[in-house]
């Protein structure tokens, strides 16, 4: 059983190697059409091809190319209204003879659109009806009966990946663009910036080093958001330390009652490092681990203090 599984994977890998040698300039032609178009890429398919098409459309959309999916059957019963002039129709069918797909192509020709096809038969009805054909060639399915669309589906998906990523690179799609489209989940968090998670300056009490501790604690208690921290700034408005209410509380618990008339500089946490608001959260995580600190000042391009970021928010998100 294990050896059979390995054989299936090797067969599909070999099919992709064959596809990499088979692919030709038609994918560049299609990419140019898409880059020059003001419309969306409308991906269509029936059955397993529809499922592959949904994946291709999702990859296109997440890498900077507007794309939707369209079920050919629904399109023939009213959803054709989703297609607009200048759209690119990307039709998927291994055989190239899927009746509902061919009906859709005939119907959509009433609009000024480009029709592209991903198919395994370059002489099929679909290929002949298309403006651009991405031919994956004949595929021996990994299924023991040679029937289930396995290898062919893998090849179609790979062709879609190649198209999407070529377009991504041609558009100059950046990590920042990627982050903008992936704000959720672990992927979105990996691409977040420090400024997206920091406590902004307007929420943080700020004191001079010689401010009496009593005044600082009172201001921290009256702050609109009870963060329990304050920034201590010195010459040139540079942050020189951080006052943490919890640290004062621990002193009291140990019986070391602080003198409320003392300046805050006696109780502030010294700075080990600061970080730019443009830095990725991964960079902040590295600094928190290296210096074993709880809070870190954030600065802007002019090296001005703009906020604080918390170790807990970076390393232990809820």
Domain C-terminal end among 111, 144, 173: 173
Residues 134 and 228 reside in one and the same domain: no
Does the residue 255 lie in any domain? yes
Residues 62 and 10 reside in one and the same domain: yes
Residues 202 and 157 reside in one and the same domain: no
Query: What's the CATH code of the domain at 14?
Result: 3.40.50.10490
Residues 36 and 161 reside in one and the same domain: yes
Does the residue 178 lie in any domain? no
Residues 109 and 218 reside in one and the same domain: no
Q: How far is CA 110 from the centre of its chain?
A: 36
pLDDT confidence tier of residue 270, bands split at 50, 70 and 90:
confident
Does the residue 305 lie in any domain? yes
- Give the structural domain span for 235: 194-315
d(CA 316, CA 305) in angstroms, rounded, equals: 24
pLDDT cut 90: percent of the chain above it: 61
d(CA 167, CA 34) in angstroms, rounded, equals: 8
Does the residue 106 lie in any domain? yes
Does the residue 184 lie in any domain? no
Residues 169 and 222 reside in one and the same domain: no
CB neighbours of 203 closer than 8 A, spacing ≥ 6?
223, 224, 225, 227, 307
Q: Is 133 helix (H, G, I), strand (E, B) or coil?
A: strand
pLDDT confidence tier of residue 318, bands split at 50, 70 and 90:
low
Give the gyration radius of the chain's Cα atoms: 30
pLDDT confidence tier of residue 220, bands split at 50, 70 and 90:
confident
Contact between 298 and 196 (Cβ < 8 Å): no
Question: What domain count does the chain have?
Answer: 2
Domain C-terminal end among 143, 173, 203: 173
Residues 167 and 216 reside in one and the same domain: no
Residues 154 and 251 reside in one and the same domain: no
Is the confidence at residue 109, as pLDDT, over 70? yes
d(CA 180, CA 192) in angstroms, rounded, equals: 9
Query: What's the CATH code of the domain at 252?
Result: 3.10.580.10
Does the residue 306 lie in any domain? yes
Residues 49 and 162 reside in one and the same domain: yes
Residues 276 and 307 reside in one and the same domain: yes
Domain C-terminal end among 103, 138, 173: 173
Question: Which residues sit opposite 214 in a β-bridge?
Answer: none
Please compute the mean of the pLDDT values over residues 241-262 and round it to a whole number. Answer: 84
3-class SS string, 257-273: CCCCCCEHHHCCEECCC
Residues 152 and 225 reside in one and the same domain: no
Please compute the mean of the pLDDT values over residues 223-239 and round it to a whole number. Answer: 80
Instruction: Tell me the DSSP string of 63-114.
Output: TT--EEEE-HHHHTTTGGGG--TT-EEEEEESSS--HHHHHHHHHHTTSS-E
Contact between 86 and 112 (Cβ < 8 Å): yes
Q: Is 313 helix (H, G, I), strand (E, B) or coil?
A: helix
Range of lowest pLDDT (104-108, 171-175, 234-238):
234-238
d(CA 71, CA 54) in angstroms, rounded, equals: 10
Which pLDDT score is estimated for 289? 92
Does the residue 181 lie in any domain? no
The H or E element spanning position 317 is none
Residues 209 and 304 reside in one and the same domain: yes
Is the confidence at residue 214, as pLDDT, over 70? yes
Does the residue 257 lie in any domain? yes
Q: Output DSSP code: residue 234.
A: -
d(CA 75, CA 81) in angstroms, rounded, equals: 8
Question: Which residues sit opposite 212 in a β-bridge?
Answer: 263
């Amino acid at each position: 059983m294990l050896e059979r599984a390995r054989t299936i994977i090797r067969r599909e890998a070999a099919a992709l190697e064959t596809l990499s040698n088979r692919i030709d300039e038609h994918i560049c032609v299609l990419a140019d059409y898409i880059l020059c178009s003001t419309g969306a890429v409308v991906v269509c398919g029936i059955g397993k091809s529809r499922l592959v098409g949904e994946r291709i459309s999702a990859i296109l959309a997440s890498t900077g190319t507007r794309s939707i999916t369209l079920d050919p059957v629904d399109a023939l019963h009213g959803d054709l209204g989703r297609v607009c002039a200048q759209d690119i129709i990307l039709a998927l069918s291994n055989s190239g003879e899927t009746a509902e797909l061919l009906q859709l192509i005939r119907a959509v020709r009433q609009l000024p659109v480009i029709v592209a096809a991903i198919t395994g038969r370059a002489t099929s009805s679909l290929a002949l009806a298309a403006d651009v054909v991405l031919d994956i060639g004949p595929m021996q399915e990994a299924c023991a009966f040679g029937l289930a669309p396995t290898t062919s589906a893998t090849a179609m998906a790979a062709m879609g990946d190649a198209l999407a990523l070529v377009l991504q690179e041609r558009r100059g799609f950046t990590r920042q663009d990627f982050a903008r489209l992936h704000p959720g989940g672990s992927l979105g968090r990996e691409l977040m910036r420090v400024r997206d998670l920091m406590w902004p300056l307007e929420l943080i009490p700020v004191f001079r080093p010689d401010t009496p501790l009593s005044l600082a604690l009172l201001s921290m208690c009256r702050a609109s958001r009870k963060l329990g921290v304050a920034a201590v700034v010195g010459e040139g408005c540079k942050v020189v330390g951080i006052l943490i209410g919890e640290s004062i509380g621990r002193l009291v618990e140990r019986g070391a009652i602080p003198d409320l008339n003392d300046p805050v500089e006696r109780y502030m946490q010294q700075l080990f490092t600061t970080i730019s608001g443009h830095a990725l959260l991964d960079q902040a995580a590295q600094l928190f681990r290296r210096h074993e600190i709880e809070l870190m000042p954030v600065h802007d391009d002019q090296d001005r203090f703009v906020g604080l970021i918390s170790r807990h928010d970076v390393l232990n998100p809820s």
